[in-house]
Amino acid sequence: QLSKLPPDLGKLRKLKFLDVSSNVLEELPVELSDLGELQSFNVSNNRLTAFPDEFSKLTRLIVFNFSRNKLEEFPSFLAGETRFEQLTELVANSNNIETLPGKLSNTLPSLKLLDLAGNSVKQVPGEIGDISKLKELLLKDNPLSDKRLKKLVEQCHYKQVLEYVKGHGPRDSKGTAQDKSGASKKGKKKGASAPVDIQEVQNAFEVLQLSSQSPVVIVSDAVQEVRPYIVCCIIRNVYLDRDNRLRKFLTLQNKLHDTICVKRSEATIATHDLAKITGNVYYDAIEPDKLKLTPLGRKQEVSGKELYRQMTEEADAMRKEKKRSTYPGIYKYLYLLKDKTLYPFLRDESKLVISFPPMTNSDGTRISEETRNVFAEVTGNNLPFCKKVMDALLAESLQLGLGNEEALSEAGSTGDGGATTHRLQVEKVKVVDKDGNLRVVYPSKTDLVCPGVVVEQRSE
């Protein structure tokens, strides 16, 4: 584990991706400010307490992840005079940050995700709600002093949280005066924001116990050096043929991959149609040329080695055609396989490879609007983190209404976090080693902790 970074890193002027997560870094060299082309910067899970002010020169940043560190103050370089026009994702959860600068509405105009969960924030400036492109403001597990805001945060109502912060969050004197003036003029206009309704919604997970009919996941020794941890569950009785839910469910997984999963480097999600899986599931690792699968969206079986070669060629061609400096879509994860001697994979009893993390699923188990039971997997390098990702997937799936048989419009919901009750059935899945020793059962009684959501344990 690294305790220091060499200052010479700053000489890599064309570097676009820098991942130094999961080390023991206590400070970063100021020379990194010379990385003017840097787009993705991941320093999560270290011991950092501050960043050099010179980092204000990193204006090409798109994703900045400094979660799970020891910061007590929000990075000052992000709230100075420099505008970060391209920064869309800021992941700052699990620090000790106490206050937020309202100036972020000026310096981060393109921000879409601001994850501040698990900090010490008591107040959220109203100016945060002025960031026009911001879609997700994550504030769980903070000692928020505004009880109404805390209630909305606990109920996972992202849109209402943003509206409430914009309308009720404290502002500096100039901002407050301007806001009040604007409110007095616009308050009665048609289309003005209505008061935020914090009606409590009794959403629920219904946890089903282990079933003899459901697959057991068996993990080999070979994955220990590759991607050692996996948690799985079954989402029962989903209705993906309503409200465009299939597309929304797939979009959700992509969003989680780019945010909480840190571009799939920390964890990878895969979902399958349970009806297309035969028997138990085996999690193993093998040489790239020996892995055989039919990747999602492709019709022919290829080896892992050949798939990597094909995708690299496709990515280079697409990058040149679109005149981009980075790989688009799924291709941006290719670097995770570079120089790997073993590829992890999941297969069922029929020898069908159903998943190749972190890259792709098998086309043979893809979900569709006809899917009624989903087998979900999360693989990664840390068991608690895998559980956290699965919790997030299920919590978001609950909010999408995947378990609601009727369309949300028929249920009386406005689609804006109204009073429709959501329920989702989640069946436990057991993971064992090759000798049958238990490794993990998910969800356990300590999982699926989502404020505002009831967890009902079914004994039968």
In order along its 460 residues, the chain shows pLDDT tens digits of 899 999 999 999 999 989 999 999 999 999 999 999 999 999 999 999 999 999 999 999 999 999 999 999 999 999 988 999 999 999 999 999 999 998 888 999 999 889 999 999 999 999 999 998 888 899 999 999 998 888 888 876 677 888 889 888 888 754 433 333 333 333 333 344 444 444 444 688 999 999 888 899 999 999 988 889 999 999 999 999 988 999 999 999 989 988 888 778 788 999 999 999 999 999 999 998 999 998 888 888 888 888 888 777 776 776 676 665 555 555 566 667 777 889 889 999 999 999 988 888 888 999 999 999 999 999 998 899 999 999 999 999 998 999 887 655 444 443 444 445 788 999 999 999 999 999 999 999 889 887 778 888 886 5
CATH T-level topology, domain 7-183: 3.80.10
**Number of residues written out for the chain:** 460
Tokens (6 digits) for 373: 């039971």
Instruction: Give pLDDT, residue 310.
Output: 78
CA distance 173 to 175: 6
Dihedral Cα 256, 260, 266, 269, nearest 10 deg: -30
pTM over 0.85: no
Tokens (6 digits) for 97: 């940050």
CATH T-level topology, domain 203-299+343-458: Phenylalanyl-tRNA Synthetase; Chain B, domain 3 (3.50.40)
CB distance 407 to 187 below 8 Å: no
Residue keyed to tokens 């992202």: 158
Instruction: Give pLDDT, residue 409.
Output: 47
- Secondary structure of residue 423 in the 3-state scheme: strand
CA distance 280 to 212: 11
- Secondary structure of residue 452 in the 3-state scheme: coil
CB distance 114 to 137 below 8 Å: yes
Tokens (6 digits) for 245: 């839910």
Tokens (6 digits) for 256: 């989680």
Crossing angle (nearest 10°) for helices 383-400 and 245-258: 150
CA distance 82 to 54: 11
Q: Is the peptide bond before 170 cis (omega within 30 degrees of 0)?
A: no
- Secondary structure of residue 458 in the 3-state scheme: strand
One-character DSSP codes across 322-387: TT-SS--GGGGGGGGGTT-S-EEEEEETT--EEEETTTEEBGGG---TT--SEEEEEEES-HHHHH
Instruction: Give pLDDT, residue 187.
Output: 39
- In the chain, DSSP finds a helix count (H) and a strand count (E) of 7, 20
- From edge to edge, which strands make up the β-sheet containing 40-42? 17-19, 40-42, 63-65, 89-91, 113-115, 136-138
Buried b (16+ CB within 10 A) or exposed e, 181-198: eeeeeeeeeeeeeeebeb
Q: Which helix (H) or strand (E) holds 85?
A: none
Question: Which residues, other chains included, contact 305 with Cβ-Cβ below 8 Å and sequence gap of 6+?
Answer: 288, 289, 291
User: Domains of the chain: which residue ranges?
Assistant: 7-183, 203-299+343-458
